[in-house]
Structure 1
Amino acid sequence: MQDLKAKKLRCEYRNNPVGIDVLKPRLSWQMAASGRNVKQAAYQIQVSADNAGSFTGPLAWDSGKIISDHSVHVEYEGDPLQPSTKYSYRVRIWSTSDEESGWSETAYWITGLLSSAGWKAQWVTGMYGQSTGKSEPADLLRKAFDIKEEVKVKSAVVFVTALGLYELQLNGQRVGDWLLTPGWTSYSKRLQYQTYDVTSLLQAGDNAIGLMLADGWYRGNLAWKEQRNCFGEYRAGMMQLHIVYADGSEQTLATDDSWKASEGPIRMAELYHGETYDARMEANGWSASGYDDTDWRAVTIVDSTLDLLIAQENEPMRIVEEIRPVQVLYTPAGETVLDMGQNMVGWMRFTVKGEAGRTITLQHAEVLDKDGNFYIGNLRSAKQTITYTCKGEGTESYEPRFTFQGFQYVKVEGYPGEVLPEHFTGCVIHSDLEQTGSFECSHPLINQLQHNILWGQKGNFVDVPTDCPQRDERLGWTGDAQVFVRTSAFNMNVASFFTKWLKDLRADQFPDGGVPFVVPDVLSKDTHSSSAWGDAAVICPWTMYLCYGDTRILEEQYGSMKGWVEYIRSQGVNSLLWNTGFHFGDWLGLDAREDSYTGSTPKDLIASAFYYHSTRLLSLAADVLGNREDAEAYQSLSDNIKKQFCHEFITPAGRLIAPTQTAHVLVLMFGLVEGETHSRVIKTLVDLIEEQQFHLTTGFVGTPYLCHVLTENGYHDVALKLVLQESYPSWLFPVTKGATTMWEHWDGIKADGSFWSDNMNSFNHYAYGAIGDWLYQVVAGIDTDHKQAGYKHIHIRPKAGYGFDYVKAGYESIYGEIRSEWILAADGKMTVNITIPPNTSATVQLTDARLESLKEGEASVLAAEGIHVREQTAEGVTMLVGSGSYQFHYLQQ
């Protein structure tokens, strides 16, 4: 096996992370090898703390040859990690056929400060006097310093954070390409700092460093009540530069009272409202050496703790792609509007040549109204407006720094001369997560639906999983996150993203186990703990375990998971039902009363169903962690909840008391009914759907599970008819109306072109995109096994049917690429192509196949290499296969 090697080395899911505080980081790699049934038998890891990445001297860790097939989440067991140190590592592996690879390419991680004791810097602010309680100009902070001229700099690392948002500059150049730093966490308990290698930006002799500060989530507008200062009154920055010279000497530069401050050209910066920039006020060269800061004032030291500082945990936000306007529109109202062709999140970069004092205004919106005019009604109080004043010195270029907009259309006012697309670029911004999933099929509207799901995720994974990116909200709603989490994990590698967010959920969780509606929590403290929303505390970490085999996240979140279940148990007089408190219910269900956002499914039924579901998942998590006592206790509790649920909500004749689609979906999905009652409930659900002429009436709670329940209970044809339905209400109705992202409401734009509402009508809202999970798991058939999670053991169970001639899906698991593709010919011949990555195995189920006639390639499946078990079942053929690529042919019965 000449091509055996370890590839795609990762540390804590990330490629060469800079600045991590994990004391025992986990290393992962993929196994590259040709052929079938390839597995790892052993590995060796070497870690070097030599800054040059050499493995010739003493090592921080040499694991030796470890007999194990583990290739993900292998915990570092070497010398105690040192702060601000680069650790290089490499891996070699042995296969079960005793072949040995060479060493992998070298990867690395760089540690952060590891503890608050490493901080020597002070918090500084340019704000002075009393906080005005409104947006104020961004601060510029600077410091000049000297570098030894006689000794070469060996390395230079800077650590930086802010109470607010910051941009760091060194010698006139921006440091890094991370945006909206330090990101959004529960600032009163957890505040991230970032680490940058700035060795190449330093120069012998005179240097200067600068910090630009804005309000951001820390003290800017948040939520719909125009509240400010949610986390503090004063923004501030803190920075520490650590320089190591070739002779071993060191130098540290930190923020202190010797820094100077001024205002700059950013006169206002708000996440909701946009940015106001006056180029005439630019301080050219302010972050470079030689700048005259005589007129700048002294900074003020801010008293704030260092104990809550943590290193960057998630992938950073970046400009991930750039798109040009597809056309310039002139509306009936006389507006000049850029059409980006895609509902996107980010900002516009533009060039302009205008006289000094000319002001250009860009306003951003998602849709045009039915007359074709610019529409901002659904933004509520969010202004989403960029105002730029020219300095009048030739061609000027501008893009915002401390805001973001959700939009497809941009109204341009004040631009000199003709507005041309080539003068404008849309910068798409989101957490820079690796795209791991792809789904394509023969139905063009489904392909557009998948596109919309993915772009809904892009637009709302802006450091936290937000509900929407355009109006005065943009909050980390727990319910939205939990219904979409599994789909999100197909589309992108969201492991570090949810690891960070769940730590904030845990931090914001109340002492009694209650969970806020939004995380980070910026709402009033009496608004918390709705069923299906708070259940994110259990469902999200369990899903991360399923998708990535990550037991550490279960360990870290276990107390939070248990706290939530115990919170529910403590509510009301019956510890086996949840029939007290506030609940959102089946949010935006179409069977709601005219004056309500909540569907008609009883809230206590929903709450008690989720109580059972979370308790059962908690029992499974306890079992994974080896906590047998808890596993048995919560299994017993879930059994008793189930009995009480059936007593409360199922009649003696086996009828579910709530005649809604969502009620029937939940009891079936969570396994709350059995036997004849189960048969009656699924039959009633199908009847309810047929009564609606194959339309859904479900809201946020029922929709994610609807098609799963139908397929699993023998009604895959009904699920397909629902998904392929084009008339309202359906997944494809927005697609037929030109949607490029998911809508909050099934009828955000009605058939006549009018709007559902101004008050709450986002056109980029990923919750209903949860159907993507069904497309991947069921139609393409890619799933994992919770007993060998993280796709160590894979299930391939493609489901062909009405409306699809072919499906092609891929998923880049932590072990490597999984593929499932099928083509159904007109004569009923089925071709299934699958790829299983090395060091994994798969159970393959081919519906309606016959073992005696099934072929793999050109030969009988009975003789195919890599297939260990072949079994004929009533449903078709089931096989246990090793890694490799396979092609199956059979005639559907």
Structure 2
Amino acid sequence: MKVWCVKETSVEYRQKLLGTDIRKPRFSWKTLSDRRGVLQSAYQIQVAEEDDSFTNKLWDTRKIDSEEAILIPYEGPELMSRTRYYYRVKVWDDQGNESLWSDPDFFETAFLCGEEWRSSWITPHPAMINPAEESAFLLRKSFVLKKDIAAARVYCTSAGLYELYMNEKRVGKDLLTPGWSSYQHRLQYQTYDVTQELRDGINAVGLIVADGWYKGELGWEGHKGHYGSTRAARLELYVKYQDGSEDLIVTDPTWRSSTGPIQYAEIYHGERYDARLEKEGWSGSNYNDAAWYEVIVTDQVPANLVAQENEPVRITESRPAVSYVVTPEGDYVLDMGQNMVGRMRLAVEAEEGTRIRLSHAEVLDKEGNFYTDNLRGAKQQVEYITKGNGPESYASHFTFQGFRYVKIEGYPGLEKHVPLESFTCEVMHSDMPSTGHFHCSHPLLNQLQSNILWGQRGNFVDVPTDCPQRDERLGWTGDAQVFINTALFNYQGAPFFTKWLRDLKADQGEDGSVPSVIPSIGNIPISSAWGDAATIIPWAIYQQYGDKRILEEQYESMKAWVEYIRDQGDEPYLWNTGFHFGDWLGLDAHENSYDGATPKDLIATAYYAHSTRIVRDTAAVLNYREDYDKYTELHRGIVNIFQEEYVTPRGKLTADTQTAHALAIAFELVEGKTKARIAQRLNQLIQEKDDHLTTGFVGTPHLCFALSAEGYTDTAYRLLMQTSYPSWLYPVIKGATTIWEHWDGIKEDGSFWSRDMNSFNHYAYGAIGDYLYRVVAGLDRDPHIPGYKKLVIQPAIQENSGITNAEASYESEYGLIRSAWRIEDEYIIIEVSIPSNTTALIRVPSSLPQAELQEWVESYQKEEGMMSVNWAAQGIEIQTGSGDYQWKVPL
């Protein structure tokens, strides 16, 4: 028998899941075969409680005839809290071949009911440590264990940010825990396996707690305490012994508190660490805490506790300093070679009390000096004061910076030597698995893809922020929705966005309004294209992963947003009232305006139609027939009114902007001859600008797609390949290593666009990545079958575009998909990889007439895995099953 096996299993998108409160977790698997054209015909799942031998099975599906292999929900007996469950999978292929069982993996529940928590929220006694104290505070407790330990788990969270220590050892690698959520509604807690950290006898547990997002400064107005005025922590340690008994240690009034070396910690501003104030061994069992202070129980944290939902922030890479310069102003500045997000780790040996300051910036000005004006109020500084008894190492605990350049002050001996090896950036972001890859023959496009990736990494720090450096760093909904397809290709983003969408639903107004930043910090107006994240992102997740549960969870939120819009306009089919950001940063904006020339009511109504169609389609998926009929009618009415209001009787848009034309095509608001005329005019508008764009945040993601959909791919490629301002490649030419907020963040003469709003790491315009993957490389999915169950491989090959080869690969829930093409002599070489249990439609361009392609067809159509070969208007259509294929097609 040939190879047929389960290659990889996962539960809720992860192979091993420690600490979940999902009552019906879902299982997925990837299969592997060395035979082409393989489909799964059946599967079997087994789940056992605390037993990886599966002797006593809790749930056994038996053999189920089905091709389904992703997100199969657990349907066994009710799960119990704080319990480990092992699972494994077996599959049959379409020839009846039976695989072996997969290797066992596990998931482990945390608290399935909030009432199970037995600990208290604690904080230092306010008479002894002022709640307004800037220093991070320390909490500790010692305890005795008297038996042989079988297993131990800590469940921990904080109002603020925390780090957990056990017997003088930092527990886990997660940073910025418990993350940022809609704290007044939802607060995550983390689960840690601390079995190896404990010992028989005296033990100790410790916490460091800082302000973080909970109590620290948020937004550009300097406001603090958005969620509360008091830091607090909550912890439960369960110790199971070999004899089956259990001990519980909880946060309560018996804990002790103090302050320590972290004198100051703010997300925007940085951290100050005085190593002279370290309390050596403070989290150890032998430490004397008699001089420490009492704690009190507090009830000032109202949020509902939920188990960790997304991937935590971690260090994913370490990058040493590349070089340094002495600026014209005399500053010593490190160049890290890449604009990125994280923290600097410094190594030093110096006299006690040496004060070292690191300041962070994205760019140097045109004179070569350290430039921080675009940070606005954010300081982005860390300060370390040495204790002076040998080599020391430090990296900040409760902050992060967005930067490429680091100014050093106070480091000993700088005038003689800058030790590059003493300075390393630890790159930080939500630790999502990488799934997508793109590469082509054009080096500037490859750099653009690198910029897109680094922009996503830097801005996916527990929430999808707009920028990672200035006094903002907020989860802007508009930025997230325009980038969602690119984001989900590059990284496995389902847990990340599931958590964020739950915050969106929690922060949504009773009237259905969606705040423009999530988690909400208030005082930011509601807007079309921003609030539409409520519909666009759940639908994108469903399309990418076949995740029906995200639609079920968010459906009421999605409907509420559309109903909110319906209530806003002068009549139910238009949204022509209220505030809107418009085509934010559109280059056709009026003077002293940020919002573009496209009428805001046109944009609002176009997105109204788009969101309504998504709700209609969601209702169809969920089999809500009445809602499907209701939103079909509403969508029809919006489209009709859009055409009456914004399209002339002769088929011309009343708004003569690139964005208006792109939206009308992309959202299918026009059809037939009218759509053809609007597409022709869009093409003309770009040509009138010498193949440059004028679009902002709203129009840019749809521009190239609209052109290609209507037969103007040559124009789309000229736009894509443009290197002069404004274009995607202009920043690349200017040395960008991330996506800029403004097309001309740095002008031709080296000056800056502005001081107030000029981020050099702002991912929105990186939405062009979706076009690179789906059109240039041609890796796409059937829009009617979610999750890449059926693939569409359709590269748009333009002979004179300057691109002679392109390749994209994507690690789907079924396995690796690859689409690659190259031009050699008078042939196109197409290579594809189709994972087991999927099929593909491959469209191969060719200008040869049907008769001349007959011989080519006959040479390939009998290959294993080939299902059919047909001629199409512009080439050949091939239906295949799984496997690796290569075809050589005459141009």
TM-score, length of structure 1 as denominator length: 0.98
1:15 aligns with 2:15: yes
CA distance in 2, matches of 1:813, 1:291: 51
TM superposition shift of 1:574: 0.9
TM superposition shift of 1:848: 2.3
2:140 maps to what in 1?
142
1:98 aligns with 2:104: no
1:875 maps to what in 2?
874
Structure 1 counterpart of 2:781, from 769, 780, 784: 784
2:166 maps to what in 1?
170
CA 1:133/1:588 → structure 2, altered by over 3 Å: closer, same or farther? farther
2:309 maps to what in 1?
313
| Residues 134 and 228, structure 1, Cα contact 8 Å, conserved in 2 | no
1:735 aligns with 2:732: yes
1:559 maps to what in 2?
556
2:690 maps to what in 1?
693
2:525 maps to what in 1?
528
TM superposition shift of 1:132: 7.2
CA distance in 1, matches of 2:283, 2:129: 26
1:72 aligns with 2:70: yes
1:809 aligns with 2:805: no
Give the 5 Å matches for 1:588-737: 588-737=585-734
CA 1:859/1:352 → structure 2, altered by over 3 Å: closer, same or farther? farther
| Residues 215 and 269, structure 1, Cα contact 8 Å, conserved in 2 | yes
1:516 maps to what in 2?
515
Equivalent position amino acid for 1:376 in 2:
T
For the residue of structure 1 that corresponds to 2:788, the secondary structure is coil
1:263 maps to what in 2?
259
| Residues 856 and 889, structure 2, Cα contact 8 Å, conserved in 1 | no
2:216 maps to what in 1?
220
TM superposition shift of 1:6: 1.1
Give the 5 Å matches for 1:798-837: 798-801=795-798, 802-825=801-824, 827-837=825-835
Give the unaligned 5+ runs of structure 1.
Answer: none
TM superposition shift of 1:854: 5.5
CA distance in 2, matches of 1:855, 1:357: 82
Equivalent position amino acid for 1:646 in 2:
Q
CA distance in 2, matches of 1:70, 1:798: 28
| Residues 135 and 220, structure 1, Cα contact 8 Å, conserved in 2 | no
CA 1:519/1:307 → structure 2, altered by over 3 Å: closer, same or farther? closer
TM superposition shift of 1:680: 1.3
Structure 1 residues 753-791: Cα deviation after superposition (integer angstroms, max 9, x where no partner)? 000001000000000000000000111111122322010
For the residue of structure 1 that corresponds to 2:406, the secondary structure is strand
CA distance in 1, matches of 2:494, 2:789: 16
2:431 maps to what in 1?
432
Equivalent position amino acid for 2:846 in 1:
D
1:358 aligns with 2:354: yes
| Percent sequence identity over aligned pairs | 54
| Residues 856 and 889, structure 1, Cα contact 8 Å, conserved in 2 | no
1:758 aligns with 2:738: no
CA 1:659/1:361 → structure 2, altered by over 3 Å: closer, same or farther? same
CA distance in 2, matches of 1:410, 1:775: 33
For the residue of structure 2 that corresponds to 1:209, the secondary structure is strand
1:41 maps to what in 2?
41
TM superposition shift of 1:855: 9.5
| Residues 849 and 877, structure 1, Cα contact 8 Å, conserved in 2 | no
| Residues 854 and 861, structure 1, Cα contact 8 Å, conserved in 2 | no
Structure 1 counterpart of 2:319, from 320, 323, 338: 323
1:292 aligns with 2:291: no
Equivalent position amino acid for 1:788 in 2:
I
Structure 2 counterpart of 1:190, from 181, 186, 200: 186
TM superposition shift of 1:291: 0.1
CA 1:384/1:133 → structure 2, altered by over 3 Å: closer, same or farther? farther
Equivalent position amino acid for 2:806 in 1:
V
CA distance in 2, matches of 1:382, 1:800: 46
CA distance in 2, matches of 1:690, 1:163: 55
1:394 maps to what in 2?
390
CA distance in 2, matches of 1:723, 1:670: 21
| Residues 439 and 807, structure 2, Cα contact 8 Å, conserved in 1 | yes
CA distance in 1, matches of 2:526, 2:880: 44
For the residue of structure 1 that corresponds to 2:714, the secondary structure is helix
The number of residues matched between the two structures is 885
| Residues 131 and 231, structure 2, Cα contact 8 Å, conserved in 1 | no
TM superposition shift of 1:866: 1.3
TM superposition shift of 1:313: 0.2
Equivalent position amino acid for 1:331 in 2:
T
For the residue of structure 2 that corresponds to 1:510, the secondary structure is coil
Structure 1 residues 151-172: Cα deviation after superposition (integer angstroms, max 9, x where no partner)? 3111101100000000000001
| Residues 535 and 614, structure 2, Cα contact 8 Å, conserved in 1 | yes
Structure 1 counterpart of 2:540, from 540, 543, 549: 543
CA 1:724/1:856 → structure 2, altered by over 3 Å: closer, same or farther? farther
For the residue of structure 1 that corresponds to 2:643, the secondary structure is helix
For the residue of structure 1 that corresponds to 2:822, the secondary structure is strand
CA distance in 2, matches of 1:626, 1:129: 59
Give the unaligned 5+ runs of structure 2.
Answer: none
TM superposition shift of 1:296: 0.1
TM superposition shift of 1:572: 2.4
CA 1:714/1:312 → structure 2, altered by over 3 Å: closer, same or farther? same
1:483 maps to what in 2?
482
TM superposition shift of 1:131: 9.7
CA distance in 2, matches of 1:765, 1:814: 29
TM superposition shift of 1:3: 2.1
CA 1:577/1:377 → structure 2, altered by over 3 Å: closer, same or farther? same
2:25 maps to what in 1?
25
CA distance in 1, matches of 2:131, 2:366: 39
- Report the more deviating stretch, 123-132 or 777-786: 123-132
1:416 aligns with 2:415: no
For the residue of structure 2 that corresponds to 1:351, the secondary structure is strand
CA 1:132/1:853 → structure 2, altered by over 3 Å: closer, same or farther? farther
CA 1:120/1:132 → structure 2, altered by over 3 Å: closer, same or farther? closer
1:888 aligns with 2:887: yes
TM superposition shift of 1:15: 2.3
CA distance in 1, matches of 2:178, 2:542: 27
CA 1:808/1:500 → structure 2, altered by over 3 Å: closer, same or farther? same
In the TM superposition, structure 1's runs of 4+ consecutive aligned residues that sit over 6 Å from their partners are 130-133, 855-859
2:861 maps to what in 1?
862
CA distance in 1, matches of 2:398, 2:854: 58
Structure 2 counterpart of 1:278, from 255, 269, 274: 274
Structure 1 residues 495-547: Cα deviation after superposition (integer angstroms, max 9, x where no partner)? 110100000000000001000010000022xx332010000000000000000
1:121 maps to what in 2?
119
CA distance in 2, matches of 1:304, 1:855: 76
1:498 maps to what in 2?
497
CA distance in 1, matches of 2:674, 2:852: 38
For the residue of structure 2 that corresponds to 1:60, the secondary structure is strand
| Residues 806 and 823, structure 1, Cα contact 8 Å, conserved in 2 | yes
Let me know the Cα RMSD of the aligned residues. 1.5
TM superposition shift of 1:129: 4.5
| Residues 544 and 786, structure 2, Cα contact 8 Å, conserved in 1 | yes
| Residues 116 and 306, structure 1, Cα contact 8 Å, conserved in 2 | no
1:61 maps to what in 2?
59
Structure 1 counterpart of 2:235, from 232, 239, 248: 239
TM superposition shift of 1:114: 1.1
TM superposition shift of 1:849: 6.0
For the residue of structure 2 that corresponds to 1:6, the secondary structure is strand
1:455 aligns with 2:454: yes
- Report the more deviating stretch, 59-68 or 376-385: 59-68
CA 1:307/1:218 → structure 2, altered by over 3 Å: closer, same or farther? closer
TM superposition shift of 1:118: 1.6
| Residues 158 and 196, structure 1, Cα contact 8 Å, conserved in 2 | yes
TM superposition shift of 1:320: 0.3
CA distance in 2, matches of 1:169, 1:307: 24
